[in-house]
Amino acid sequence: VVYLVVFHLSFFMFVWSYWKTIFTSPASPSNEFCLSKADKEQYEKEERPESQQEILRRAAKDLPIYTTTASRAIRYCDRCQLIKPDRCHHCSACDICVLKMDHHCPWVNNCVGFSNYKFFLLFLMYSLLYCLFVAATVLQYFIKFWTNELPDTHAKFHVLFLFFVAAMFFISILSLFSYHCWLVGKNRSTIETFRAPTFRNGPDKNGFSLGCSKNLREVFGDEKKYWLLPIFTSLGDGCNFPTRLVITDPEQITVSSQNEPARSSGANQPFPTRPLSESQNRLLAGDCPWVESGPEEENAKSGS
């Protein structure tokens, strides 16, 4: 009875997670990141990249974006005709911009990003447990096969095949699941692992890391009772993310009276200064053990 309960439960959770990963549509940027009709026409008329960037900077001045291209330009998608939010990338297979895109997975025929990353992790975990369960139950027959204690029937080849398939998938999925657990702990996507996001102070692969505990909550949510269920509980909206670099940057955390000069700096100010909303910023509440104190931070705290 226990065997059947565990088998059916693991299989059900595996199928549920796999279903949610496949059929959850990738989240795309909201309309506020799209250029207005006038800006779009002006952008298309301009031939000089400098003039185009000036249009994008003007359109992005109130958007919560803190990353740029490697050449310090505003990240813009010509295909979707919108300013890319932080951690957003265009998927050539889906032909859309995907929020917090990790990769396009051919096994699920879908993009893995902000909307279904938790489901993808649970799919890997439950498929891993399912393969382990199958291999463990067949192991005793596999041992009897090698010791010639199994009756000489065609079934013994089925046992051999089933054990090897389960063990092979277990090893493969284990490596992939371990890699994504490491990514969650570091608060990185697969894309960011190979190409670090560029902030005001330059590229930083740990720019979005808030510490392992907060990184985990950002993906799975605040309530632990929902962590193992394939229901959406990730924090935020996918368009803006808490980042330790924003905390340590005085120009992005000062009061509104100090923000005005930064906003009017034109081409020399590619970073908008709109602060994160309260719902997005709750991960930053309390102590910030991931931030190393230094002279610049002390000056920022003292208002000097």
94, 105, 181, 288: which one is catalytic? Answer: 105
138-181 pLDDT tens trace: 888 777 777 777 666 666 777 788 888 999 999 999 999 999 99
Nearest Cα residue to 67 out of 210, 243, 226, 258: 243
For residue 166, tell me if it sits in a domain. Answer: yes
Q: Contact 281/242 with Cβ under 8 angstroms?
A: yes
Q: Name the residue range of residue 200's domain.
A: 1-27+113-248
| SS3 (DSSP) at 68 | strand
pTM across the whole model: 0.79
How is residue 223 written in tokens?
Answer: 């309530």
For residue 244, tell me if it sits in a domain. Answer: yes
| SS3 (DSSP) at 110 | strand
For residue 33, tell me if it sits in a domain. Answer: no
Question: What's residue 302's pLDDT?
Answer: 38
288 is catalytic: no
Backbone angles phi, psi at 77, to 5 degrees: -100, 110
For residue 157, tell me if it sits in a domain. Answer: yes
For residue 105, tell me if it sits in a domain. Answer: no
Number of structural domains (the chain) is 1
> Where do the H-state alpha helices sit in 24-115?
37-45, 49-59
Top mean-pLDDT range of 216-225, 237-246, 294-303:
216-225
How is residue 71 written in tokens?
Answer: 């050449």
Distance CA 108, CA 72 (A): 35
> Which residues neighbour 43 within 8 Å (Cβ) at sequence distance 6 or greater?
35, 52, 55, 56
For residue 210, tell me if it sits in a domain. Answer: yes
Residues paired with residue 260 on neighbouring β-strands, in sequence order: none
38-51 pLDDT tens trace: 999 999 999 899 99
Model confidence at 96: pLDDT above 90: yes
Model confidence at 288: pLDDT above 50: no
Tell me the helix, strand and coil percentages in the chain, rounded to 5: 50, 5, 40
Q: Contact 101/189 with Cβ under 8 angstroms?
A: yes
For residue 165, tell me if it sits in a domain. Answer: yes
Question: What's residue 57's pLDDT?
Answer: 93
Question: What's residue 150's pLDDT?
Answer: 67
For residue 53, tell me if it sits in a domain. Answer: no
Continuous segment of H or E residues that includes residue 279: helix 278-281
Pairing of β 96-98 and β 89-91: antiparallel
Question: What's residue 269's pLDDT?
Answer: 37
